[in-house]
């Protein structure tokens, strides 16, 4: 039995290997890349539902070659949803952004990544 789809995320890293961010008025807005693992073989699109405060909170990725990725910035935690579309139908999955980041960086978390995760979780 194939594992269920799961949303994962990683911080984009700068030239020093630290999480890249855009300085906001109150918070750092970290550059993040979302993707979904374990999608059905016939998946043709993934629609991400981000927090309602985003200018464009509904985003679609149709590029299987890059793992249906979506780039965004965030300073805080919220529930990320993904609707995986295949010939079989729609599979909906959801997770907290911080959990997706922790899963995406599993195995090795540098002190800089851990610090960025703490900032995300705090907001």
pLDDT tens, 13-33? 999 999 999 998 899 999 999
Q: Which residues contact 109 (CB under 8 A, 6 or more apart)?
A: 102, 117
CATH architecture of 6-122: Sandwich (2.60)
Per the CB < 8 A criterion, the answer to whether 70 and 84 are in contact is no
Strand locations in 38-78 (E)? 45-49, 58-61, 70-74
Give pTM, 2 decimals: 0.95
Strand partners, 82: 48, 93
> pLDDT at position 83, please?
98
> pLDDT at position 123, please?
92
Residue with tokens 């079989």: 88
Confidence of residue 100 (pLDDT cuts 50, 70, 90): very high
pLDDT tens, 31-85? 999 999 999 999 999 999 999 999 999 999 999 989 899 999 999 999 999 999 9
The ranges assigned to domains in the chain are 6-122
Taking the CB of residue 69, how many other CB atoms lie within 10 A of it?
16
């Amino acid at each position: 039995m194939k594992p269920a789809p799961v949303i994962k995320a990683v911080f984009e890293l700068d030239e020093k290997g630290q999480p890249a961010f855009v300085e906001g008025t109150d918070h750092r807005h970290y550059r993040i890349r979302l993707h979904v693992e374990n999608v059905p073989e016939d998946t043709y699109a993934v629609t991400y539902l981000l927090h309602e405060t985003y200018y464009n909170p509904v985003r679609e990725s149709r590029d299987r070659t890059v793992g249906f990725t979506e780039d965004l910035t965030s300073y805080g935690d919220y529930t990320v949803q993904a609707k995986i579309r295949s010939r079989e139908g729609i599979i909906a999955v959801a997770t907290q952004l911080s959990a997706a980041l922790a899963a995406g960086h599993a195995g090795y978390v540098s002190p800089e990544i851990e610090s960025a995760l703490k900032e995300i979780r705090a907001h």
